[in-house]
Amino acid sequence: EIVLTQSPDTLSLSPGERATLSCRASQSVSSSYLAWYQQKPGQAPRLLIYGASSRTTGIPDRFSGSGSGTDFTLTISRLEPEDFAVYYCQQYDGSPITFGQGTRLEIK
């Protein structure tokens, strides 16, 4: 099983700041099979990024994904109030499909 470890567990930032969220895999993951999701309280997750760096339809360009191999990053260039949420990475390269434990992005 590929274990995804996200860091930090909690990130405290202010609106307007840049957020950098990390996702590290226990073994190499094809970039094609790494996705990022955002979940707000009481809501279902929604897809932000697939293929490590492709934004899905409707996601603002302040969200960007990068990385390869075992290290992937989600960057939010300038935080808006609505961006404070929990973020999960997910891989499909190995069975079973696994998610990271999540990073909570909170307002400082």
Partner 1 sequence: VQLVESGGGLVKPGGSLRLSCAASGFTFSDHYMSWIRQAPGKGLEWVSYISSSGTTIYYADSLKGRFTISRDNAKNSVYLQMNSLRAEDTAVYYCVRGGGPMFDPWGRGTLVTVSS
Kindly list the residues in this chain that would bind partner 1 in the complex (CB under 8 A): 32-33, 35, 37, 43-47, 50-51, 56, 88, 90, 92, 95-102
CA separation for the pair 56, 37 (Å, rounded): 10
CB of 9 to partner 1, least distance (A): 11
- Judged by beta carbon, residue 19 or residue 38, the one nearer partner 1 is 38
CB of 75 to partner 1, least distance (A): 19
Residue 102 token pair: 């999540």
Find the angle CA(40)-CA(41)-CA(43) to the nearest 5 degrees. Answer: 70
| DSSP type of residue 66 | E
